[in-house]
A and B are shown apart, each in its own frame.
Chain A
Amino acid sequence: MFTALLVAALAVVLAFLTLPLLAIFLDVSPRELVGSLDDPGATDALVLSLEVSAIALVVIVLVGTPAAWLLATRSFPGRAVAITLVELPLVVPPAVAGIGLLAALGPQGLLGQPLAHAGVELVFQTAGVVVALVFVASPFYVRQAIAAFGALDPAVIEASRTLGAGDARTFARVAVPGARSGLVAGAALAWGRALGEFGATLVFAGSLTGVTQTAPLAIYERFSDDFTGALALSAVLVAASAAILLAVKPVAGGGVLGDARA
């Protein structure tokens, strides 16, 4: 009886989560899908999305991995606060993130003057999109990385140190390879989140074809006067995101994504 209930719940979950995605593919014929990719605005948006999300991912992994290692392995005053701060962008609405970025890094923002003097321009620039993506997507990676590092056997880390490898060497040669599957899973989630980013990008960076208009912004622009085009672009984005998930599945292990044990 209880099992039947569980099965029913899973069926509801699966139906609810897959129906909208399925509808995108059922509503657009393959020919329309290919046709919409002939639209230079659409291809510009897809290429830009792949570029900015890849750059954002590199930044997130390069800075996020050592930061997560520190948070996972050392105890220091304010550690709990630091972890909460890292996770905060997860629950902040994207439009709020965009407004916050404007208030911090915009021309009239807290750091607006110094940035302008240094010749750094972010608003209306592709670099601004990368900044928005890093902000919204990094918690997905850092959280997962903290969990993955935390799940490593402390005895192995200790052994590496005892055998004479320094902290840096232990991190690079033991911890990162050991936590690899968790790190890859986190990176995939962060990449997926970056690919889908909409609100922060629009508010902070604006929307201009080839410069700041990523695929989600192009989809929104088409919604009102080109629903088929919007559906086709959506289909490509869903396929790309699914491909990312599937591609990392072998590396991320049987538990797919979100397996804290990694």
Chain B
Amino acid sequence: MRASRSLCAALAPLALATAGCGGGGGGSGRSAKPQLTVSAAASLKGAFTTYGQQFGGAEARFSFAGSDELAAQIRKGVRPDVFAAANTKLPDQLYHEGKVTKPVVFAGNRLVLAVPAESSKISTLRDLTRSGAKLAVGAESVPVGSYTRDVLARLPAGESKAILANVRSNEPDVKGVIGKLTQGAADAGFVYATDVVATEGKVRTIELPRSLQPRVKYGIAAVKGAKQPKAAKAFIDGLLSGAGLKAMTDAGFESPK
């Protein structure tokens, strides 16, 4: 039974719409719960995993990736129950396309400059302009990459150009950037404050000046035509006040106002 359950878990991201997995879990008490599939931004991984374990309404399964990739899947007909993005633009677009219910903003975050903990190569934003500085950033289409370019656009043109010339990799999601930093492959990268917390000391934060800080807001919505609309609503409600909100706060997310 264990094996069949873990097989189902392994297949979950491949077949988001698969029903019936876990039905044979027998006697564990969890098997009666419906399955709730949540497509969520990579930066939500830690907080949502914690919340999912506490969530009573359903057995939550997650697909974490760049918000843009998840939105593209929904546009191509994939129907997770919930879509949570690292911006409000993608859920709003899907709402206007009729794919999801009206999105709500449920959390905020800060963009920071992150460097490997033991590296002293980069200590200020200006250091990024030096030739030879190796920078990993999110690709333009993923929210973290778009926020990064917003920040750079607020710098003097020369500085912004010099920094962009030092970009060595456009990663498909923020965890890719973090990976390049924890491995010391990149000297610096733009990530969310919560991602740095999740590395437990492997990566250090350099705060951005308030004048450069973009407004990072997370939007969430239930996907129309998905199997568990009730559980989806309960999951979203729990993020606004309840176990989800606590998990988000513990992980370092800010209130959405």
- A residues contacting B by CB (< 8 A) are 102-103, 106-109, 112, 123-124, 202-203, 206-209, 211-213, 220-221, 223-225, 227
Query: Quick check: A224 and B71 within 8 Å, CB to CB?
Result: yes
B228 within 8 A of A: no
Residue of B nearest to A112 (CB): B184
Contacts of B69 in A (CB 8 A): 223-224
Query: Quick check: B172 and A221 within 8 Å, CB to CB?
Result: yes
Q: Of B46-54, B147-155, B175-183, which stretch is located at the interface?
A: B175-183
Closest beta carbon of chain B to A68's beta carbon, Å:
33
Contacts of B141 in A (CB 8 A): 221, 224-225
Residue of B nearest to A109 (CB): B183
Taking chain B's interface residues, is the majority helix, strand, or loop, or is none over half, making it mixed?
Answer: mixed
B68 within 8 A of A: yes
Interface residues of B in 44-88 (CB under 8 A from A): 66, 68-69, 71-72, 76
B92 within 8 A of A: no
- B residues contacting A by CB (< 8 A) are 66, 68-69, 71-72, 76, 134, 136, 139, 141-142, 167-172, 176, 179-180, 183-186
| Most chain B C-beta atoms within 10 Å of own C-beta, residue among A103, A123, A212 | A123
Our pick among B71, B176, B186 for the contact of A202 (Cβ within 8 Å) is B176
A109 to B141, CA, bound (A): 31
Query: Quick check: B184 and A207 within 8 Å, CB to CB?
Result: no
In the complex, besides A206-B185, A221-B170, 8 extra interface pairs with C-beta distance below 8 angstroms are: A106-B183, A106-B185, A203-B176, A207-B170, A208-B168, A213-B170, A221-B141, A224-B142
Query: Quick check: B72 and A206 within 8 Å, CB to CB?
Result: no
Query: Quick check: A107 and B184 within 8 Å, CB to CB?
Result: yes
Closest beta carbon of chain A to B32's beta carbon, Å:
34
Query: Quick check: A108 and B170 within 8 Å, CB to CB?
Result: no
Closest beta carbon of chain A to B106's beta carbon, Å:
22
Contacts of A209 in B (CB 8 A): 170
Given contacts A221-B141, A224-B69, A224-B141, whether A203 and B179 have CB atoms under 8 Å apart is yes
Contacts of A102 in B (CB 8 A): 183, 185
Given contacts A106-B183, A107-B184, A124-B185, whether A208 and B139 have CB atoms under 8 Å apart is no
Query: Quick check: B169 and A207 within 8 Å, CB to CB?
Result: yes
Residue of B nearest to A108 (CB): B184
Query: Quick check: A208 and B169 within 8 Å, CB to CB?
Result: yes
Query: Quick check: A107 and B185 within 8 Å, CB to CB?
Result: yes
A244 to B80, CA, bound (A): 39
Residue of B nearest to A106 (CB): B183
Contacts of A107 in B (CB 8 A): 183-185
Query: Quick check: A212 and B72 within 8 Å, CB to CB?
Result: no
Given contacts A221-B172, A224-B72, whether A207 and B183 have CB atoms under 8 Å apart is no
Query: Quick check: B169 and A223 within 8 Å, CB to CB?
Result: no
Query: Quick check: B172 and A225 within 8 Å, CB to CB?
Result: no
User: Can you give 29 contacting A-B residue pairs, CB < 8 Å?
Assistant: A102-B183, A106-B185, A108-B184, A109-B183, A112-B184, A123-B185, A124-B134, A124-B168, A124-B185, A124-B186, A203-B179, A206-B168, A206-B169, A206-B171, A206-B180, A206-B185, A207-B139, A207-B169, A208-B169, A221-B139, A221-B141, A221-B170, A221-B172, A223-B69, A224-B66, A224-B68, A224-B142, A225-B72, A227-B76
A223 to B173, CA, bound (A): 13
Contacts of B136 in A (CB 8 A): 206
A117 to B167, CA, bound (A): 23
Contacts of A221 in B (CB 8 A): 139, 141, 170, 172
A28 to B169, CA, bound (A): 29
Our pick among B68, B167, B170 for the contact of A225 (Cβ within 8 Å) is B68
Contacts of A207 in B (CB 8 A): 139, 169-172
Contacts of B66 in A (CB 8 A): 224
Contacts of A202 in B (CB 8 A): 171-172, 176
Given contacts A107-B184, A108-B183, whether A227 and B170 have CB atoms under 8 Å apart is no
Residue of A nearest to B167 (CB): A208
Closest beta carbon of chain B to A111's beta carbon, Å:
14
| Most chain A C-beta atoms within 10 Å of own C-beta, residue among B69, B168, B171 | B168
A108 to B179, CA, bound (A): 12
A112 to B172, CA, bound (A): 25
A221 to B171, CA, bound (A): 9
Closest beta carbon of chain B to A207's beta carbon, Å:
5
A211 to B166, CA, bound (A): 13
Contacts of B134 in A (CB 8 A): 124
Closest 3 CB pairs of A and B: A206-B169, A224-B68, A124-B168
Closest beta carbon of chain A to B197's beta carbon, Å:
21
Closest beta carbon of chain B to A95's beta carbon, Å:
10
Residue of B nearest to A123 (CB): B185
Closest beta carbon of chain A to B213's beta carbon, Å:
25
